Chains A and B, each alone.
Chain A
């Protein structure tokens, strides 16, 4: 493979689809959907290729790309690299795993987009733009580039929610925009403070500078201890909006309920995970010492998330709401793993990121299938679905089992490892958190069992079960979830190097 352009190709290949779509008349529904789907494939191919190569021992760092891009103020009295922001892409094992997850989910979400009813052309153009943004976020090697890709996801999402969503879509879109706007604003401040004070935004360079007192002495202006804490807390807020951490979560409920299911697949499967990714990569990567001091606090936040989400999920009547609160609850486990701050904990957190990405995508795919057929997601209006749609009901049950952490599925591995980590450090908090696991089983089973086996409140005559083209992604998702469940090494191996780096940063 051509290493010079590999990552750029991977990130920007959906652009081909956008260009192709520009030339298709907007009434050609089938054609547009086909192009939209096909345009997600090159990235998927590249991502899987890199993943397989990496597993067989290929050195992934040689994929790094670097081109000079912006140079703010060429001052003669400064080092010529000061205030440069280059176009730098590069990945490690963690980023690669996230990219694979993104490309898989994007392809499946493109399949789920067959339910989109109007203006397919605009929809798929924005959809592909969103994919570019998500891929870029994980491949960016410097903070400014990361931020730009991060924001590229913001605008398409606003339109995708506001135009193709359900009844209260515009409100949800605004809510999304403002909350994430604030989150991004805080993030931008952090990034620019780092850039202004150190003269660089390259993540590796920043780590070096923070570890080397001599380099710090050469900075434009000092970064004091207080400022470091300030920056870390700002990062926590910025990514906390995205993750979301209670109480910054209300926008996310609206989005989950109002956005079209295909978009929620990506939103819940990938976009929320950017929050976790950012916390691990920047929060933990750049400020390990300060992170250690905040670890207990983060673990408590995690438990709050876990329990709050679980309790509220229990009383919801809308199945989408149950899943939304379930997402909040499951993101709590990520925080719990990070709060533990030992190898098991961090590994559990990353596992949870991937595992929940797959599971929530699966569940929201099924929500889309369901809504398409029965026009509601209210639990009290559903019920007895197993008779009319046995396959769908089965999948729903499988998704719920994975989500509540049934051994043999990915959810179990991640929750188990994360809690293992926290029990080693802080058994009391962990014990309280473990209550959440039980709650998870309760609310998920209540919701899913009512929907599938409860009293049939309506006539399902003429309701078709899931079609083959829809079932295919579902089968694949279930297969992936089970694969990680029975053979966790498929994830653990690529993550090994990243984990070691993080643990080194923490001082062993």
Chain B
């Protein structure tokens, strides 16, 4: 490639990514040359500011038409824009949490904390924008590898090490499966460009090749389910969530999961929605594989919600709850209705708010004692009524009670399930039944907070960063629950992602 062509690209559409990359690089350099005894809090604010600037630059990019650069490997369409908002907002909040993270034994590698979050974020953003299997995979690996290190950041902590190990091994296996699936696609089409792939796949009418493609689809989905923390690759979540530093857990459950859904939507819809199956009988490979994915979604919801019932460790409980939510989100995906992207986007926003809020409070509650037992929450209402009310809001939203963002998110997913013909009654029934089951463990936390006497009487103080996160998330959860049209109006400017295929 000549320099001239290189310069002709509209690099402007990559500004948010460049900002994140630049900040991450500068941070790593500063961290290297900074005396080790110096407080690294400032670096956190710098990272936070970087993410905020990237967010603002993304707002500036909103009116930009669909553009793709670097031979169609990087594309900025409305789908990428919409989901990058979630990724950036999630990362910003997580960095705030990381600044106030004070584990019992102290943390030596605070600088790494911030720039690894940024590189992971960069990977996720590349995934949102990629138009090619190669960039997509590189983004995925950048996210994964940064996450592996982050999980094991508490170097002297046994559980942290254990979970990092488990995360790497599981991640490795799932990546291999994903790649294997991609290799089938590459073998059948001879290209890695998504647009070309879609074009060539739609011409395949040979039953034998379609069989291979169906296999590839399933392998891709199974491999990617690692990032979603959904069945069959959900087993890592409880151990890793429990052992990882809390801000990292929050990151995995929100940003990493969002990235997972981004890539699933992008790959599956792009490559397989126009591919014929069963000769030429069925118009879409994706629709013909619907039942398999629906089964996985159902299994995810059931596994997540029923095993969560038995947990006394709140972090572990939230891990299973996170699996369950991945299942709900998959219902939004698998019904393939006209609400598919809208409902997943809204639910991810709601999930970001309620889950990060819950993790923020959990982090402060468990920092000091290093115990995550549910009894830590006993009598929180008497110690700090406002914190208890905020936690109550997050829990109610996770349970999907009206008046919160979680409810509207669920309603939209259900609408998607019922609007298609034939409607997905079974899947919807599983979702609603498991939601009722989830009341039991969610309300268990409420019972501890409001009904039980307090063990400790001292009021709980929230550090500044955590306080910002809690207030932001609580307000957001309520506002999106009562006036969801704010979010939907924002979403409407993308016109249902009509430029997805262009």
Query: Which among B415, B432, B492 is the interface contact of A196 at CB below 8 angstroms?
Result: B415
For residue B450, CB closer than 8 A to chain A, the reply is: yes
Chain A 449-463 interface 0/1 with B at a Cβ cutoff of 8 Å (1 = within): 000000000000000
Across the interface, which residues of A come within 8 angstroms of B483, CB to CB? 69
Across the interface, which residues of B come within 8 angstroms of A148, CB to CB? 402-403, 407
Chain A 68-105 interface 0/1 with B at a Cβ cutoff of 8 Å (1 = within): 11111111100000010000000000000000000000
Which bracket fits the contact residues of B?
35 or more
For residue A6, CB closer than 8 A to chain B, the reply is: no
From residue 323 to 367 of chain A, which have CB atoms closer than 8 A to chain B? none
Query: Which among A152, A177, A185 is the interface contact of B435 at CB below 8 angstroms?
Result: A185
Q: CA of A192 to CA of B409 in the docked complex: distance in angstroms?
A: 13
B46–chain A nearest beta-carbon distance, Å: 39
With A151-B402, A152-B403, A163-B451 known as contacts, the answer to whether A188 contacts B485 (CB < 8 A) is no
Across the interface, which residues of A come within 8 angstroms of B236, CB to CB? none
With A174-B443, A192-B411 known as contacts, the answer to whether A155 contacts B420 (CB < 8 A) is no
For residue B439, CB closer than 8 A to chain A, the reply is: yes
Across the interface, which residues of A come within 8 angstroms of B401, CB to CB? 151, 154-155
B426–chain A nearest beta-carbon distance, Å: 12
For residue A189, CB closer than 8 A to chain B, the reply is: yes
Across the interface, which residues of B come within 8 angstroms of A155, CB to CB? 396, 401
B342–chain A nearest beta-carbon distance, Å: 5
CB pair B450–A159 under 8 Å, yes or no, is yes
Q: CA of A250 to CA of B485 in the docked complex: distance in angstroms?
A: 40
B258–chain A nearest beta-carbon distance, Å: 20
Across the interface, which residues of A come within 8 angstroms of B439, CB to CB? 177-178, 181
CB pair B443–A177 under 8 Å, yes or no, is yes
| Closest A residue, CB atoms, query B498 | A76
CB pair B403–A222 under 8 Å, yes or no, is no
Across the interface, which residues of A come within 8 angstroms of B428, CB to CB? 189
Across the interface, which residues of B come within 8 angstroms of A68, CB to CB? 485
Across the interface, which residues of A come within 8 angstroms of B411, CB to CB? 72, 144, 188, 192
Chain B 418-431 interface 0/1 with A at a Cβ cutoff of 8 Å (1 = within): 11110100001100
For residue A158, CB closer than 8 A to chain B, the reply is: yes
Across the interface, which residues of A come within 8 angstroms of B440, CB to CB? 174, 178
Across the interface, which residues of B come within 8 angstroms of A163, CB to CB? 450-451
A237–chain B nearest beta-carbon distance, Å: 13
| Closest A residue, CB atoms, query B337 | A196
Q: CA of A329 to CA of B193 in the docked complex: distance in angstroms?
A: 70
Query: Which among A71, A76, A186, A197 is the interface contact of B419 at CB below 8 angstroms?
Result: A197
Query: Which among A74, A158, A197, A222 is the interface contact of B492 at CB below 8 angstroms?
Result: A74
For residue B114, CB closer than 8 A to chain A, the reply is: no
| Closest A residue, CB atoms, query B452 | A170
From residue 190 to 222 of chain A, which have CB atoms closer than 8 A to chain B? 192-193, 195-197, 220-222
For residue B66, CB closer than 8 A to chain A, the reply is: no
| Closest B residue, CB atoms, query A179 | B436
| Closest B residue, CB atoms, query A26 | B385
Chain B 328-341 interface 0/1 with A at a Cβ cutoff of 8 Å (1 = within): 00000000001100
| Closest B residue, CB atoms, query A227 | B423
For residue A182, CB closer than 8 A to chain B, the reply is: yes
For residue A494, CB closer than 8 A to chain B, the reply is: no
From residue 231 to 277 of chain B, which have CB atoms closer than 8 A to chain A? none
Across the interface, which residues of B come within 8 angstroms of A159, CB to CB? 450
Chain B 203-224 interface 0/1 with A at a Cβ cutoff of 8 Å (1 = within): 0000000000000000000000
CB pair A185–B423 under 8 Å, yes or no, is no
From residue 387 to 429 of chain B, which have CB atoms closer than 8 A to chain A? 396, 401-403, 407-408, 411-412, 414-421, 423, 428-429
CB pair B423–A193 under 8 Å, yes or no, is yes
CB pair B419–A221 under 8 Å, yes or no, is yes
Q: CA of A73 to CA of B416 in the docked complex: distance in angstroms?
A: 11
For residue B496, CB closer than 8 A to chain A, the reply is: yes
Across the interface, which residues of A come within 8 angstroms of B417, CB to CB? 196
CB pair A70–B414 under 8 Å, yes or no, is no
Chain A 43-72 interface 0/1 with B at a Cβ cutoff of 8 Å (1 = within): 000000000000000000000000011111
With A178-B436, A192-B418 known as contacts, the answer to whether A73 contacts B342 (CB < 8 A) is yes
For residue A282, CB closer than 8 A to chain B, the reply is: no
| Closest B residue, CB atoms, query A68 | B485
Across the interface, which residues of A come within 8 angstroms of B465, CB to CB? none
For residue A147, CB closer than 8 A to chain B, the reply is: yes
A148–chain B nearest beta-carbon distance, Å: 4
For residue A278, CB closer than 8 A to chain B, the reply is: no
Which bracket fits the contact residues of A?
35 or more
For residue A244, CB closer than 8 A to chain B, the reply is: no
Across the interface, which residues of A come within 8 angstroms of B103, CB to CB? none
CB pair A195–B488 under 8 Å, yes or no, is no
Across the interface, which residues of B come within 8 angstroms of A83, CB to CB? 415
CB pair A196–B418 under 8 Å, yes or no, is yes
A259–chain B nearest beta-carbon distance, Å: 14
With A73-B339, A192-B414 known as contacts, the answer to whether A147 contacts B402 (CB < 8 A) is yes
Q: CA of A368 to CA of B60 in the docked complex: distance in angstroms?
A: 64
For residue A162, CB closer than 8 A to chain B, the reply is: yes
Across the interface, which residues of B come within 8 angstroms of A144, CB to CB? 411
CB pair A71–B485 under 8 Å, yes or no, is yes
CB pair B342–A72 under 8 Å, yes or no, is yes
Across the interface, which residues of A come within 8 angstroms of B342, CB to CB? 72-73
| Closest B residue, CB atoms, query A155 | B401
Q: Which of A70, A71, A73, A74 has the most CB of B within 10 A?
A: A73
| Closest B residue, CB atoms, query A182 | B436
Q: CA of A71 to CA of B412 in the docked complex: distance in angstroms?
A: 10
Chain A 223-252 interface 0/1 with B at a Cβ cutoff of 8 Å (1 = within): 000000000000000000000000000000
For residue B59, CB closer than 8 A to chain A, the reply is: no
With A73-B338, A73-B339, A159-B450 known as contacts, the answer to whether A181 contacts B415 (CB < 8 A) is no
Across the interface, which residues of A come within 8 angstroms of B433, CB to CB? 185
Q: CA of A170 to CA of B428 in the docked complex: distance in angstroms?
A: 30
For residue B172, CB closer than 8 A to chain A, the reply is: no
CB pair B402–A75 under 8 Å, yes or no, is no
Q: Which of A154, A186, A188 has the most CB of B within 10 A?
A: A188
Across the interface, which residues of B come within 8 angstroms of A177, CB to CB? 439, 443
Q: CA of A163 to CA of B429 in the docked complex: distance in angstroms?
A: 32
Across the interface, which residues of A come within 8 angstroms of B420, CB to CB? 221
A217–chain B nearest beta-carbon distance, Å: 14
| Closest B residue, CB atoms, query A76 | B495
With A70-B485, A71-B485, A151-B402 known as contacts, the answer to whether A189 contacts B432 (CB < 8 A) is yes
| Closest B residue, CB atoms, query A193 | B418
Q: CA of A185 to CA of B399 in the docked complex: distance in angstroms?
A: 12
Q: CA of A151 to CA of B403 in the docked complex: distance in angstroms?
A: 9
For residue B282, CB closer than 8 A to chain A, the reply is: no
CB pair A72–B447 under 8 Å, yes or no, is no
Across the interface, which residues of B come within 8 angstroms of A170, CB to CB? 447, 451
Query: Which among B416, B451, B484 is the interface contact of A162 at CB below 8 angstroms?
Result: B451
Across the interface, which residues of B come within 8 angstroms of A195, CB to CB? 415, 418
Q: CA of A159 to CA of B411 in the docked complex: distance in angstroms?
A: 25
| Closest B residue, CB atoms, query A148 | B402
Chain A 154-190 interface 0/1 with B at a Cβ cutoff of 8 Å (1 = within): 1100110011000000100010011001100110110
Q: CA of A163 to CA of B446 in the docked complex: distance in angstroms?
A: 11
A248–chain B nearest beta-carbon distance, Å: 14
Q: CA of A196 to CA of B419 in the docked complex: distance in angstroms?
A: 5
5 pairs, A vs B, C-beta closer than 8 Å? A69-B485, A72-B415, A152-B403, A192-B418, A196-B417
New A-B pairs, 8, CB < 8 Å, besides A73-B338, A178-B439, A189-B414? A70-B408, A70-B485, A72-B488, A73-B488, A148-B403, A151-B402, A192-B414, A221-B423
A residues sitting closer than 8 Å to B (CB atoms) are 68-76, 83, 144, 147-148, 151-152, 154-155, 158-159, 162-163, 170, 174, 177-178, 181-182, 185-186, 188-189, 192-193, 195-197, 220-222
- A-B pairs, top 10 by smallest CB distance, nearest first, are A196-B418, A148-B402, A221-B421, A196-B419, A151-B402, A185-B432, A192-B414, A181-B436, A196-B415, A193-B418
B residues sitting closer than 8 Å to A (CB atoms) are 338-339, 342, 396, 401-403, 407-408, 411-412, 414-421, 423, 428-429, 432-433, 435-436, 439-440, 443, 447, 450-451, 483-485, 488, 492, 495-496
